[in-house]
Amino acid sequence: MIIITFIRLYKFNWKKCLIINPLNKTVFHYMIQSQNDLARILDEAAHTAKEVEQISKLHQISIDEAYSIQAASIDRRLKRGEKITGFKLGFTSKAKMEQMGVHDIIWGRLTDSMNYTDGGILHRSKFIHPRVEPEIAFSIKKRIDKPISISKIIDYADGVAGALEVIDSRYKNFKFSLEDVIADNCSSSGYVIGPWMDISTAIGNLNISLLINDKEVQSGNSNAILGNPLESLVEISRMTQKYGFVIETGQVVLAGAATPAVYFDIGDRIEGHVEKLGSIMIKVV
């Protein structure tokens, strides 16, 4: 305990430590990690589908440091040839906040390797303990590099669609603190977009449901997302300034789920329904 407290005080300035576990007297060689080390650990966990300990068990990191770790882990994906395809918001509904015990809006990056085709298949072996949630997606027609108001969305987005998001926390037991989940790119691991509709489609008060093997396992309402899912675009545009990134033309934004996420497994047929926007389907093999 004393050793752990001591380590926490020194955060990233550590070389190599020995930690003796008083319960079973085992000795761990524990490399105290820099932000780059933590980014590598999370990236490898995602890449190899192997869970890791929560960062917050040994390091106290700030929200800003967590976003830097996220950026560094995404850089590793980009170096392997992946491309940014958009952004996602998390914890934009009470249902999600309550499910995960985390109470602040977060954002993460999406890449082309996370994109699955509507009606296509998803390999369970690529994930650790995946969950799925129905979402609403937006397509961006004009670069967003500053905060925009709700009345300006029509100038920046041209499409809206139902979507499914696959989240797969890299942390053991899908447990994390706010900083942990931000560093882990908000558990992003897959997304499927349904047919695009015009951005002028009214998306308030729509029924949203998730079916696994034809059985409804979750249902919610689009207004659960920040009172109006369009607010998610306002939020992500505010973050662009705060964290210094831009949303490019052609990229997508996931608004965040209106319902808790559900575990799935091999053989499952997953279907999302968003009233007016239609259905999205994926099969797990």
List interacting residues with ligand OOG (CB under 6 A): 88, 90-91, 96, 100, 133, 165, 167, 169, 181, 186-187, 256-257, 261
What phi, psi does 217 have (nearest 5°)? -110, -15
Considering all CA atoms of the chain, what is the largest pairwise distance in Å, rounded to the nearest integer? 63
Report in angstroms how near the CB of residue 255 gets to Mg ion at its nearest.
8
Report in angstroms how near the CB of residue 54 gets to ligand OOG at its nearest.
12
What phi, psi does 251 have (nearest 5°)? -80, 170
Output the DSSP codes for 182-209.
HHTGGGEEEEEE---EETTS--TT-EEE
**Which CB, 141 or 226, lies closer to ligand OOG?**
226
Residue 187 binds which entry of Mg ion, ligand OOG, none, CB below 5-8 Å type-dependent: ligand OOG
**Which CB, 65 or 165, lies closer to ligand OOG?**
165
Sorted by sequence, the CB contacts under 8 Å of residue 255 that are 6+ apart come out as 89, 92, 135, 136, 137, 138, 225, 226, 229, 232, 233
Residue 169 binds which entry of ligand OOG, Mg ion, none, CB below 5-8 Å type-dependent: ligand OOG
Residue 186 binds which entry of ligand OOG, Mg ion, none, CB below 5-8 Å type-dependent: ligand OOG
Q: Both tokens of residue 117? A: 């085709």
Q: Which of 166, 172, 143 is nearest to 156 (CA)?
A: 143
Q: Which residues of 18-36 are buried (b: 16+ CB within 10 A; e: fewer)?
A: eeeeeeeeeeeeeebbebe
Residue 96 binds which entry of ligand OOG, Mg ion, none, CB below 5-8 Å type-dependent: ligand OOG
Of all residues in the shown chain, the one whose CB is closest to ligand OOG is: 90
- Residues 258/94, Cβ–Cβ less than 8 Å: no
**Which CB, 87 or 156, lies closer to ligand OOG?**
87
**Which CB, 186 or 282, lies closer to ligand OOG?**
186
- Residues 281/270, Cβ–Cβ less than 8 Å: yes
**Which CB, 118 or 180, lies closer to ligand OOG?**
180
**165 contributes a contact to Mg ion by CB under 5 A:** yes
**Segment interacting with Mg ion, rule: CB under 5 A, options 110-118, 164-172, 245-253, 273-281:** 164-172
Q: Which positions lie near Mg ion, rule CB under 5 A? A: 165, 257
